[in-house]
Structure formats: C-alpha cells, structure tokens
Amino acid sequence: MQRAALFGSGRDAQMAAGDLGELLVPYMPTIRVPKSGDRVYKTECAFSYESPGSEGGLYVCMNTFLGFGREHVERHYRKTGQCVYMHLKRHVIEKVPGASGGALPKMRNAMQFLDLETNGDLNNDDFEYEDEAKLVIFPDHYEIPLPNIEELPALVTIACDAVLSSKSPYRKQDPDSWEEELQVSKHAKTLVQIDNGVRIPPSGWKCSKCDLRENLWLNLTDGSVLCGKWFFDGSGGNGHALEHYKEMGYPLAVKLGTITPDGADVYSFDEEEAVLDPHIAKHLAHFGIDMLQMHVTENGLRDNNIKPRVSEWEVIQESGVKLKPMYGPGYTGMKNLGNSCYLSAVLQTIFSIPEFQRAYVGNLPRIFDYSPLDPTQDFNTQMAKLGHGLLSGQYSKPPMKSELIEQVMKEEHKPQHNGISPLMFKAFVSKGHPEFSSNRQQDAQEFFLHLINLVERNRIGSENPSDVFRFLVEERTQCCQSRKVRYTERVDYLMQLPVAMEAATNKDELIAYELKRREAEAARRPPPELVRAKIPFSACLQAFSEPENVEDFWSSALQAKSAGVKTSRFASFPEYLVVQIKKFTFGLDWIPQKLDVSVDMPDLLDINHLRATGLQPGEEELPDIAPPIIIPDDPKAPDIDESSVMQLAEMGFPLEACRKAVYYTGNMGAEVAFNWIIAHMEEPDFAEPLAIPGYGGVVSAGAAGLGAIGLDNQPPEEMVALITSMGFQRNVAIQALKATNNNLEHALDWIFSHPEPEEESESASDVMDVENNANANILAEAGSEGPRIKDGSGRYELFGFISHMGTSTMSGHYVSHLKKEGRWVIYNDLKVCASERPPRDLGYIYFYRRIPS
C-alpha cells in the first residue's frame, strides 16, 4: 500500500480530518496515557543516539513510551505489533539578518518535548529552533500532524498532550543532583564590567570592608572582594557582598577559592540563587584571572618572557598546543553530564579493546533482536548501543568545507551534532549505586571495577570480554615465629602500585620548593613554581613486590596471634594488564587527597620476574586450622569505640553501619573502619543493627569473612538450617552459601538462578561477584574448575592511560589518552584530538596489552 499523508490543504485535508476518528478506532486499545511512574523516552533512541534533532527524528511508541530512531522503529513494530508512534522532529533555522525575533509556531510543544536536551547554543543571535510533532501509523506510515485537538478522539488527544508535556525519565529529585538544576543567569550575557584597572591576586584575599579572609566573593562588575553571608554559602560572614549589591545593584559574584578550569560557584543577588554563567571565563579574565592557567599577571595578560607555572590541568589536557581534531570511527567524544568524565574515560578505553568491540558491536544485531521489551533496562543492549555510538563514526563527522569557512568568519556558529550523550547508559549502570547514581565526581578505578562486575553478571555466550583483565594472584603468608607458610590464590582485575615517595630523585628540589611555598604563604605572595616529585617506576614495582606486615595475624602453627608477613605474586598474567598508581590517600580531615607525583611509566613492561613459584622445597605449610570463635559465657554488649563510631557517623554513614565497621575492625580506629565501610556499603544488611553470635543474633555477611566459617570450611549450620527449612535440599543450601560467601540473601538468589541441581559437583559458578571496593580483591570461588583464566607471557606494551586532574577523587576532571593507528589521541569529553605531548608520567590508571611471544 502506498504511503498516505493525512495533511495538506483544501478539500482533501477536510476529508482526511473527518476520517481521523474512524482511522484510529482499531488502534485505540494500544494507545495509553502515561501514568505517574511511566517513563517517556522522547529525547533519545533506545538502540542508538538518534534524537528529535537527527535527520530522521525520533518515534515514541504510544504504548510503551520508548523512543526509536528511524532505523530501529521498524524492529519495534515487527517485534511488538505496536502501530501508533509519535514522531518528534527538531528543525534548526538560521535567522534572517536583522530580524527582531518573536514567538515561533509550535514553540509551546518544542519547549515541552525537548526540555531536556535543549542546546544553549541554539538560542544565540544567529539560530533558532522549531519543533514538529505528528502521529504516525505503521506499517503504512499514515501521518497526523499535531496538535489536532478538534479532529482526534479525546483519549488520543489526552495521551499526546501527556507525552509532549512529560518530563525527563532521568530528572532526579534528590539533593545530590542539584547541580543539574542550576539555571543560566539572566544577567550573564549582558553583564556590564567596569574597566577600573582592578586585578585580583591569586591569594591573600581579604574583605574590603572587614578583616574576614574566608567566604569571600568577587563581584563580577567592579571587582570588589567582599564577605558573604551564611544563608547562601553555608558559612559565616558579615554580609558585605549583599550590602554592596543593595547599594550598587551589581548582580553577579563568584566565590573565591572555587575557580577551576571546569567553572566556579556563581551567585546572583538579583535572582537570589546560585546560577550558571556561560561567560565566566571572559568575566574572570576582565580581572586578570585565567581559569585554565590558574595564574594571574599584573596586567591580566600573559608575558611571553615569563615562564608559566606548569599545572597538572595544563599538562594533562595539553593546553597551549594547537591540537588537530579527529573524526571518524573510534574518534567519537562523549558529552559530560556533570561530573561524568570518569565514566567517559573508562568507556573510551574499554571500547578500544578488540574483545569488547567483538562482544558488543560485533554481536549488535543479535543483541538487539533478542533484547527485552524494554531495552533501556538491558545491560548488553546499552553496551552494544554505546559501543556502536563510539565506533561507527556516525556521530563523529568532520564539518563541511563551507561550515569551516563559516566557523572562521563567525565567533558563534551552528553547533555540530557530534559526540554522544551517555545519559541512558549512566542511568542504567548506576541504578541502585549510592555514588554512581549521584551527580558527584567519582573514582575511575572504582567505576572500572563496577563495570567489570556488570559485564561478569551479564555474560554473552560462553566467554566474557572481561576475561582479558582477569588474573590470579598468589599470596604467600609466613608466620615470623614458626617460619611456616600458607599459599592462597585470589582473583584480581588490576595491579595496584604504591607510590614510593621515599625514592624521589629530586628530593633537594622538593625541600627547597616546600620552604619557598611556606614563605610565600606566610607573606601572602603568589606560590612559587610547582616542583613535582619524580618517582622511578622501578621503585613502585619494588614496593609492590616487597613483603608487607599482616595486621592481627593468627598463626595456626602456634594457635595464637603472632607476627606475619605477606608477599604477592602473579599466578597468571592477563591479556590486558591494568595498572593503578595509588595516588590517593586520606588527609586528617578524612577527605581523599592526591599525591602530585610524576612516575616514569614505561612503554614496554616486563613483569615475568613477578611470576608466582608456589610452595618451595624446604618450606613447611601452616596447618589448615581456622581461628576459634570465642563466645563469652556471660554475654554482654560488645566493646565498641564510640568515638570512632561518631567520627564515621558525622561523615554521613548510617549509625548501625558505623558500629559494625568499628566492631569488625577490632576498634582499630576510624580510618580502618572507614575502609571496612567502603568495602561493605553495597551489602543488603549494611545498615542493619549489629548481630553477634552468642548475643541472640546471626552472623551478618560482613562477619562471615572474619572467621564465621567453621573449622571444616562449611557454612554456618544455622544458615544451612534456615535454607533447608524453606524446602531446599541440604547440599543445595551448602553450595549456594559457599558460592555467595555465606550471604543469606545472595544465597537464595543463587538458588533461584540455578534451578538445575548439581548432585556431584560442588564447584562454584564462573561468575565472580566483583565487589566494588577500594582494594578490588575478588576471592576465587572454591571448586575444581575455578574462574576462567587466560595466562601467557608477562611482557606488555602501553596502549592507553586515564589521567585525573584535581586534589581528590571527589573533585576534578578525567581524560584518557589512547594509542590508535600508531599515534596518541586525547579524549576529553566531546573533544577528540591528536595528542602532541601525551603526559604518560601523570596518569592514574594505565592499560597494557600483552606482546605476542
């Protein structure tokens, strides 16, 4: 049947309008009105990154409210039989020179169905947008333009209006995402700045009306530095910044101390709220502040004869060098959603690995065809979608020659629709995670392990691409008194190298720099040029291989506590070796801090000398006896250091979780307990009250790892009895508890996901439960088969690294450098460029591939 369009002009249009109600009658049972809780995906395709702004627009199913690009809507129609879709299309129109502007037709609908992805650049003086909506009936593609209130049945009209007015399924209401809700100040574009010669020094600020040196705000009109007030900053002040606004009417101020290359905290006195200033760099430059370089000269301009301070931000982002943009397959950038650069850096690196490309992009048709009815909630579908977005080249096209000329001629130009937005992907992979689901900056290493965990749990076929990272670590523990040893193995996915600060090769320079820095701070002068500690890679590798003391070691040979040491070696070498430089530590205020060091990471790495050797001739093994569980005859409340509990509770953790952390770490202080919290915060009983054997409770999941397993390595009998009382066989209960480290809830999930009983084999599942914690040590599950390990040579070549800028994992910015087609490329959010000076010595996580023998 030929395609028919039910719109036009004159008599035909009138006839078509009269038939609309009859036309839609067969489809009325499939058209739904979105209810509270329904997610309407009207800004992005579930299988691609097509949007209403794409050439083919976006089709929203009027039953499931899923969005589909032109290439994928037919698949959904064939799979579900759903015929009615709303087609959304955004048109970008160049304004006529000299036009005064005005309301656009359908602008009401435009602001509704594209309220999430509206590009600020489209609201400039040269371009505007017009949005179009219509119903499309498959398979014949009948089109009904909207709005069409008079001709359409009431139910259809209500459903269409509800879809058009629905909000983003990703819009969060929790306070963690307040950054996403900041609005651009109405004063930002037209702000008047007085040319009064004011230049702001990099330090030594003081309120010009009092002696306060904290909570200071720089007025962006006249350069006045004045103190704030508690109600808009959260800290004390005398309110002189507000008084100045009331007197002079200068609306915008920026908080000193918050200025970074990523932006700054801006407050509008007139609008009475924190705001965004898209022109903040220009406004700060007026007073001699360079956001990117973070240093100021006397006249606000750089003196080419003065050697600039080389900051971490400049070096890692290769600032000051003209970088050539890269386009095409594998050179697609990713939009920063607000502190999502950690996710982008990891995914760009992951999808440069052939095994991940084959698993997801190579299997893309099969994954899409077998995806569930809601592909937004399927990990493999979202991974395949993201991999295709990065590798297809479809979203990384160079500008046309005419557009290049236009960009040269115009300061503001029509934006290129290059790059992808990982909004749908981030919403899924972070669901239920207290940190990744927030809008706060995160540790890229922790997200890497979280991603590996998801890959492991959603394997495709018999192999998982994450197999290339997995290796076995042999740990040799020796009792210092009896000299007897124990060898154990665990699974790991990355190598953590300590920073050997004592091995710095420029100690004299560091000492001199620290003296100058303190003198400058005392005299309130600009700090001296930064001197960064230079650490040999060989020293870090040596520190990794040296024995370390085992805290609170219990010797089975002595049946008592004793001194013990542990050394780690590679029982296998992975296909791809991930090396993390442990730059982050905790300060006295419990905030993660970073060691600003330079490590001379090698292009070629040989760690064959770290191959494990196993039990050696002459060594005697420690007896296989677990420490006894001591239950007091006279039960009383456990001894818990309440001061440590309160320290942790003040950091925002649940009180019961803090009590468990202090108890299970033996009252060794808040820092050790903090590490326990980080390692156990995803467990289902994390915030439940502390339960101790002998005090009327059952050992929790956290306690199971601290000696709750019996002497015969069997799960606690009370847990076995509890599961068997539910009707399960005893051997199934034991197998499930062993496979889940004696976690009752996980054991029940394991039983339901393994309906086929294994009568003879008690081997654990291949799937490793990768705990997303700072140590990243995943215990190999007991069994004859064990985890899937790919062993080989320990010779590697560097092909990528992720770098972090900033003082801690809680702030800053991530970029990645990858070696492709023989040259280095920098991936900095949406910007993908050929790298001229890759900062290999300043990386945080390094990726090596095995050199074939």
Element housing 631 (H / E): none
Q: What is the rounded CA–CA span in Å between residue 352 and residue 428?
A: 22
Whole-Å CA distances, 699 to 552, 718, 764: 21, 10, 22
Q: What phi and psi, each to the nearest 5 degrees, are found at residue 728?
A: -90, 155
C-alpha triplet 319, 420, 394: angle, nearest 5°: 105
* DSSP-derived secondary structure for 781-815: PPSSS-S-------EEEEEEEEEEESSSTTSSEEE
Task: Name 362's Cβ contacts closer than 8 Å, sequence gap at least 6.
Answer: none
**679 in the Ramachandran plot: left (φ > 0), alpha (ψ -120 to 50) or beta?**
alpha
Q: Which residues pair with 736 in a beta bridge?
A: none
Rounded to 10 degrees, the C-alpha dihedral 52/56/58/63 comes to: 160
Q: What is the rounded CA–CA span in Å between residue 337 and residue 340?
A: 6
SS3 state of residue 201: coil
**Pairing state of beta strands 813-820 and 795-805?**
antiparallel
SS3 state of residue 494: coil
Q: Which residues pair with 796 in a beta bridge?
A: 605, 850
Q: What is the rounded CA–CA span in Å between residue 349 and residue 468?
A: 14
Residue at token pair 């006397």: 298
Catalytic residue among 658, 813, 817, 833: 813
813 is catalytic: yes
Question: Do the annotations mark residue 210 as ligand-binding?
Answer: yes
Question: Do the annotations mark residue 658 as ligand-binding?
Answer: no
- Give Dmax (Cα) for the chain: 101
Question: Do the annotations mark residue 479 as ligand-binding?
Answer: no
Task: Name 266's Cβ contacts closer than 8 Å, sequence gap at least 6.
Answer: 185, 220, 252, 253, 254, 255, 274, 275, 276, 277, 280
Catalytic residue among 61, 160, 341, 658: 341
The first and second tokens of residue 29, run together, are 């049972």
The first and second tokens of residue 764, run together, are 């654990």
Q: What is the rounded CA–CA span in Å between residue 690 and residue 698?
A: 9
- Torsion over CA: 192, 194, 199, 202 (sign): negative
Listed residue (244, 295, 3, 5) closest to 144, CA to CA: 5
Q: What is the rounded CA–CA span in Å between residue 394 and residue 55?
A: 12
CB atoms within 10 A of CB 823: 12
Query: 313 with 261: CB under 8 angstroms?
Result: yes
Q: Which residues pair with 325 in a beta bridge?
A: 833
CB atoms within 10 A of CB 22: 9
**Pairing state of beta strands 576-582 and 266-268?**
unpaired
DSSP state of 210: S
Q: What is the rounded CA–CA span in Å between residue 241 and residue 222?
A: 12
SS3 string, 217-276, reads: EEECCCCCEEECCHHHHCCCCCCHHHHHHHHHCCCEEEECCCCECCECCEEECCCCEEEE
Element housing 833 (H / E): strand 831-834
Question: Do the annotations mark residue 227 as ligand-binding?
Answer: yes
Q: What is the rounded CA–CA span in Å between residue 517 and residue 676?
A: 36
SS3 state of residue 597: strand
Task: Name 746's Cβ contacts closer than 8 Å, sequence gap at least 6.
Answer: 684, 701, 740, 769
341 is catalytic: yes
Annotated binding site: 207, 210, 227, 240
Annotated binding site for Zn(2+): 207, 210, 227, 240
Instruction: Please give the positions annotated as active site.
Output: 341, 813
